[in-house]
Copies of this chain bind each other. A is one copy, B any other.
Amino acid sequence: MKIYLAGPDVFLDSFGATIFAAKKKLCALYGYVGISPMDGQLDTSGLAPFEQGVSIYAANIGHMRVCDAMIANMTPFRGISMDAGTAFEMGFMAAAGKAVLGYSNVPQSYAARAEAYYSGGRHEALDAYSAGTAIESFEMADNLMMAGAVHASGFEVVRNSVARGQELVALEGFEACLRQLHKRR
């Protein structure tokens, strides 16, 4: 069984090489094969920036198509929500009928983070125009589409508290997803 390793991990040092190696090792412990977005030999040199992005898109789609499941790093990234590219990938895998799992290393609910965003006036510099919009309060880790997809797959989003500064790299939540998957198979 192949598991797509989705998350903003790709934006870490060396495109997340260290963390993807650690995730693959954990996958192997459970008898799975981890597939990272960075796998394969993608040469984008000589391409214009937009075309580079298009090539990476096609490569990621190819990786997802060969996987049977995904474990998404849903930790908030550059805002109060998870990385939007990872959210896209959760939707892609859900539509393809693959198992969708995810973990967040920031345990608060989406509603709590959204309320802090407005009460702290943080929206003023980012999207002042969203002031007054309704905050969904479903006691979920992020927007209901992602939490709903994990639930529809028969799993639960893992919400973990980790040491400060370790939010993007701590792997306990990732391993808890592996255990959920292993228990069901």
What does the 1/0 interface line of A52-86 toward B look like (CB < 8 Å)?
11101110110000000000000011111111110
- A68–chain B nearest beta-carbon distance, Å: 14
By the criterion CB–CB under 8 Å, are A129 and B8 in contact?
no
Instruction: Point out the residues of chain B lying under 8 angstroms from A77, CB to CB.
Output: 127, 130
Provide the bound-state CA to CA distance between A161 and B36, in Å. Answer: 37
A120 closest partner in B (C-beta): B125
Q: What is the size category of the interface that chain A forms with chain B? A: 35 or more
A52 closest partner in B (C-beta): B138
Provide the bound-state CA to CA distance between A138 and B5, in Å. Answer: 22
By the criterion CB–CB under 8 Å, are A49 and B88 in contact?
no
By the criterion CB–CB under 8 Å, are B57 and A151 in contact?
yes
- A11–chain B nearest beta-carbon distance, Å: 4
By the criterion CB–CB under 8 Å, are A85 and B145 in contact?
yes
Given contacts A92-B92, A133-B8, contact A85 B127 (CB under 8 A): no
Residue A39 CB within 8 A of the other chain: no
B15, B50, B135, B168: the one contacting A139 at CB < 8 Å is B50
A selection of 11 A-B contacts at a CB cut-off of 8 Å is A53-B136, A53-B139, A53-B140, A54-B151, A56-B144, A76-B127, A79-B81, A81-B81, A81-B83, A85-B87, A129-B167
